[in-house]
Chains A and B, each alone.
Chain A
Amino acid sequence: MNRKFTLLLIALFASTLVKAGGYQINIQGIKQNGMGYIGTGFTLDASSVFFNPGGMSFVKTKFSFVTGVSGVFANTTFQKIAPSVYQANTDNPLSPPLHFYGTYKINEKISVGLGVNTPYGNSLKWGDTWDGRYLITDISFHAFNIQPTVSYKFCDYFSIGAGFNYMTGTVSLSKMLPVADASGEGKSTLEGNTSNFGYSIGIMSKPTPKLGIGVTYRSKIEMKMEGGDVTFKVPAALSTNFPSGVKFDAMLPMPANLNIGISYQVNDKLLIGADLNYVFWSVYDSLVFDFTPNTSSLEDSRNPRLYEDAPVIRVGAQYQYNEKLTCRAGAYFDKSPVKDNYLNPETPSTNQIGLSLGASYKVNEKLNIDASFVYLMGLERNAIYSPANFAGTYKSVTVLPGIGISYNF
């Protein structure tokens, strides 16, 4: 199978996923967003395509369509290690991720669905003059995912589902080079795009009408970028050291994800649930760049990352306030997979606490307007990227407002 992906993209995946439902994953379903991003152990609508393919069979209507858009406002502050008065902030351009899910119930046993979303898209901009500019100045990537999915219901309380993911991604990564001429410092930019296949499977079980249990597994994917473009801006005297037309290859494993969810319908109005996400991050050992051609200044590089497996714990609830209005709330804790001595500002990952609110307004029997708001606190963290001796305290805040509609008939 031709499995290609941008290493950088992957690196970012890593960061995003790490950020837990980080601002990437958190925006894949407006209703789920509002509930601390739980969604494995129950079924609401077509968003199950993404959250638990097994749950598609439990969508009540013959057709279900869900679409939404979110804003990602992420900010990270850096305070250099003492003694220093230096602080920096990221300037993150707004990226508006979209998602669309649709399901069609062919018969009582079989449902098919399609998901289209941008599960991993982000921009991080530290700027060309900040103190860590020789590690990273800005990084941006956008991934677009199409997921055809099918589910089969064995009986009233058990179904399974599986989907294929086709993703395409583009990535751009820049940093300054510590060589200067009269016009300023040098800079390198790596850019590339690639595509990749993966799969996800899910099991949905309802042992009692009130209890839901779901398990979703998303595959590990070895992602490979070949022939990405490297652009250098360097003093003329160094143009042979940093030639034009350099290409880079890189490979990075995208870790497997295991999600286990449970839900309980307390009464007609109240649903509560919890998810445990486990991300097998330890496969992300290092980021290797293979440059062609190599020069004395441009050797292949192996950048240790040494990620550790990390869990995310989520709880959430929804309450039907009245005929028209449903309210949601949730929270989660997301442990960073990055070790204290390998925190690179390219991925300023910290432990995170997410708090969310959400609501749906029922316009008519078929149409709902959904809104969500997630406040993600990246907890203060002292860390160092020891391979380059860059140390300090990081703290982040991400705000994700989302709005969407769902149409079921």
Chain B
Amino acid sequence: MKMKKIFLYIAIAAFAVACKPELDEFVPSKGDADFSRFVSLGNSITAGYMDGALYKTGQEFAYPNILSKQFKLVGGGDFAQPVVNSEIGVLPGKMILGFKTDCAGVTALSPLLQTGTLDGSNVSYTVNNLGVPGAKSFHLLTPGYGSLNPYYKRFATNLTTSKVIDEVSKVNPSFFTLWIGNNDVLTYATSGGAMDSITNPAAYQAYMTNIIAALKANGAKGAVATIPDITSIPFFTSVPYNALVLKDINQVNALNAAYHPVNAVLQSFGLDTLAFRLGANAFVIEDPSSPLPAPYKFRQIKSTELITLTVPRDSISCKGWGSQKPIPHRYVLDNAEINAVKSAVSSYNATIASLANANGLALVDINKYFNDAKTGIYFDGIKFSSAFITGGLFSLDGVHPSSRGQAILANYFIKAINAKYNAQIPFVNINDYPGLKFP
């Protein structure tokens, strides 16, 4: 039938048009910047350190490496990393998620140490990713730092004389990212304030001024990132201050009885006494600043104070840590230390913002983004937060970002770079990056 044929033709024609509705594709552009020679300077996060190690797959997810792939869409060149040919790392410490049975016989999901062949061998080529795990601001300016740091050692031009900042000139960058300063407070903080010290903010300003001057020596443009409030990372928030849960009234009575004589002394000094009840209780911690003589330098932890992720759980569960014995100070960040960290970070960030402004650099306010993430933030259908393991932003060491956390960082850099240099660099899809693997 003729009419049927006409309909058939119309139908076929329409299908051809209909099958795929066309939308304008996004057109990337480099704006006012030149990404052909890109160098990235920073610490472990920049290097791609995650899960307690610098290992091959983690390196691939380092935000500078992710950025370099996006830069390639707008004329960026190759980006070399000091590749570690091991999934375990340069040094032992790599963690995977598994099951662990504690001293009390309770089996739970937990990060476990993964062992295997390490690779700390040197690389002979020029590297673009100058992220050095462990580096503080001034380390980038320290001659011979390669002899002190096993990561910089791998690509240092000269072990005894080179500085990390010297490696920049080998790339002769047209564009750089700089994110340094986390370790200037972190090393102090992760040791519970017991070891190391915080870099003086005035000195930090001088170091940063020099570093940026060196990076800009040949007119490079770039982006510089602020330092996050590290007290919100899982390393400090995973063990609650009141995780001493007492279920047995006899235990409660025994503890109260044991601390009864001490409480009398504490009262005479006008200090808070120790008290225990059924349910959640604040841990007992060592307090070196207590006016009492040893062995009475202890108290219950305050709700605003923090316990590190590294505190031995078995010692809490089975050896009376935090109840019969105080938790050693190296596992605790007390209020005075928290204030010292926050004050330094605040000064550093003022320095970073002012130097970015003075040097015409894009400012990536990672500190603000970390704060946004504290209570949870959605990207592309997933809720991310600072929570350990379940939050998705951090890897198993509780300090360094996960692969998706790195992708989110990359997007924040892109956002700031696009705004500063009128560029149109595409974001990456966070969901393209693997999440944590469960057993």
Does B associate with A? yes
Residues of the B chain whose Cβ atoms lie less than 8 Å from the Cβ of A133: 381, 431
Q: Is the CB of B380 within 8 A of A131?
A: yes
How far does the alpha carbon of A357 sit from the alpha carbon of B25 in the complex, in Å? 32
| A193, CB-defined interface residue at 8 Å | no
Q: Is B19 an interface residue (CB 8 A)?
A: yes
A77 B437 Cβ-Cβ under 8 A = no
Q: How many A-B residue pairs have CB under 8 A?
A: 131
Write out, one digit per residue, whether chain A residues 276-311 have a CB within 8 A of any chain B CB (1) or not (0). 000000000000000000000000000000000000
B105 part of interface (Cβ distance < 8 Å):
no
A217 at the binding interface (Cβ < 8 Å)? no
Asked if B269 lies at the interface with its beta carbon under 8 angstroms from chain A, I say no
Report Cα–Cα, A325/B431, bound state, in Å: 55
B7 proximity list for chain A (CB < 8 A): 359, 371, 373, 401
**1/0 per position for A124-153, CB-CB distance to B under 8 A?**
000000011111000000000000000000
Query: Are B17 and A387 in contact, with the CB atoms below 8 A?
Result: no
Most buried by A among B23, B28, B429: B23
Report the minimum CB–CB distance from A207 to chain B (whole Å).
Answer: 35
B18:A83 contact, CB within 8 angstroms:
no
Known: A83-B26, A135-B381, A389-B379. A235 touches B21 (CB 8 A): no
Residue interface bits B12-41, CB-to-A below 8 A is 1, else 0? 001101111111111010000000000000
Contact assessment for B381 and A180 in the assembled complex, using a CB-CB cutoff below 8 Å: no
With an 8 A cutoff between CB atoms, is B43 at the interface? no
Cα A395 to Cα B23 in complex, Å, equals: 7
B434 at the interface (CB under 8 A from A): yes
**A390: B residues at CB distance < 8 A:** 378, 380-381
List A contacts of B414 (CB < 8 A).
83
- Chain A, interface size category, equals 35 or more
B439, A361: Cβ atoms closer than 8 Å = no
Within 8 A of A (CB), among B422-438: 424-427, 429, 431-432, 434-438
Q: A-facing mask of B353-393, CB < 8 A → 1, else 0?
A: 00000000000000000000000011111110000000010
Contacting pair B381 A388 (CB below 8 A): yes
Cα separation A236 to B437 with both chains bound (whole Å): 11
A87 and B431 within 8 A (CB) = no
Distance in Å from the Cβ of A242 to the closest Cβ of chain B?
A: 11
Residue on B with the closest CB to A182?
A: B437
Q: Chain A residues with Cβ under 8 A from B429's Cβ?
A: 80, 84, 86, 131
> Interface of chain B, helix or strand or loop or mixed?
mixed
> Which B residues lie within 8 Å of A89 (CB)?
20
Which chain B positions have C-beta within 8 A of A393?
A: 23
CB neighbours (8 Å) of B380 from chain A are 131-132, 134, 388-390
Contact of A235 among B4, B377, B439 (CB under 8 A): B439
Give the Cβ gap from B122 to chain A, nearest Cβ, in Å.
33
Per-residue A-contact encoding for B101-125, CB less than 8 Å = 1, 0 else: 0000000010000000000000000
Residue B226 at the chain A interface, CB threshold 8 Å = no
Tell me the bound Cα distance from A274 to B418 in angstroms: 50
Q: Which residues of A contact B431 (CB under 8 A)?
A: 131, 133-134
CA distance A10 to B266 in the complex (A): 66
Does B10 reach chain A (CB closer than 8 Å)?
yes
Given contacts A83-B424, A397-B18, contact A77 B23 (CB under 8 A): yes
With A73-B18, A83-B28, A84-B26 known as contacts, the answer to whether A180 contacts B437 (CB < 8 A) is yes
In the bound complex, CA of A237 to CA of B439 (Å): 6
Q: Which residues from 169 to 191 on chain A have a C-beta closer than 8 Å to any C-beta of chain B? A: 178-182, 185
Does A375 make an interface contact (CB < 8 A)? yes
How far apart are A353's CB and chain B's nearest CB, in angstroms?
13
Contact yes or no, B426 A75, CB < 8 A: no
Contact of A77 among B15, B21, B26 (CB under 8 A): B21
A interface residues (Cβ-Cβ under 8 A, vs B): 73, 75-80, 82-87, 89, 131-135, 178-182, 185, 235-238, 325, 357, 359, 361, 371, 373, 375, 378, 380, 387-390, 393, 395-399, 401
The 22 sampled A-B contact pairs (Cβ below 8 Å) are A73-B15, A78-B23, A80-B427, A83-B26, A83-B426, A84-B426, A84-B427, A85-B28, A131-B432, A134-B380, A134-B382, A235-B437, A236-B439, A237-B97, A359-B3, A371-B3, A375-B18, A393-B23, A396-B21, A397-B19, A397-B21, A398-B18
Seen from chain B, the residues whose Cβ lies within 8 Å of a Cβ on chain A are 1, 3-4, 7, 10-11, 14-15, 17-26, 28, 73, 97, 99, 109, 377-383, 392, 414, 418, 424-427, 429, 431-432, 434-439
